[in-house]
Amino acid sequence: MSCPSDSRPELLIHAESRLGASDVLIRVSGEIDLASSPALERRLGEFISRGARTVVVDLRDVEFCDVTTVNALLRVEAELRAADGRLRLLGPCPWMSRMLSVLALQHRLQLEQPADAAGAAG
């Protein structure tokens, strides 16, 4: 893992599709840090307020994330859990994997391997 770049790739949040009446897939790319994690949290909150109960966040194209990202995702996970929902994170994302391990948070946030892990994110 290298340090985040000085050129700071823009955080892109793309709602790929609704997977069902209450399920949504969101692809995230770029860097998520103190400056951009609030935007991610707000965007996920918008989906929850519109009725999403399973939110799948694809992190495969995230180049860097920090602990503020973990905190934002923990708040989103708690909001979904309170609404009988679920947050799913798709990887691989080495930054997220490492933080979840170091912070012993695998029981709250799990990074799953997508079914098409061998293929491109599309």
pLDDT value for 8: 61
Residue 117 has pLDDT above 60, yes or no: no
pLDDT for residue 5 is more than 80? no
Compute the half-sphere exposure of residue 98: CA atoms within 13 Å on the CB side of its CA: 9
Burial 45-74 (b: 16+ CB within 10 A, else e): bebbeeebbebbbbbbebbbbbebbbebbb
CATH class label, 15-112: alpha beta
State yes or no: cis peptide before 92, omega within 30 of 0. Answer: yes
AA identity, residue 51: G
CB contact at 8 A, 69 and 38? no
Tokens of 27: 């692809």
Q: How many CB atoms lie within 10 A of CB 121?
A: 14
Its pTM stands at: 0.83
pLDDT per residue as tens digits for the range 21-79: 789 999 999 999 999 999 999 999 999 999 999 999 999 999 999 999 999 999 999 99
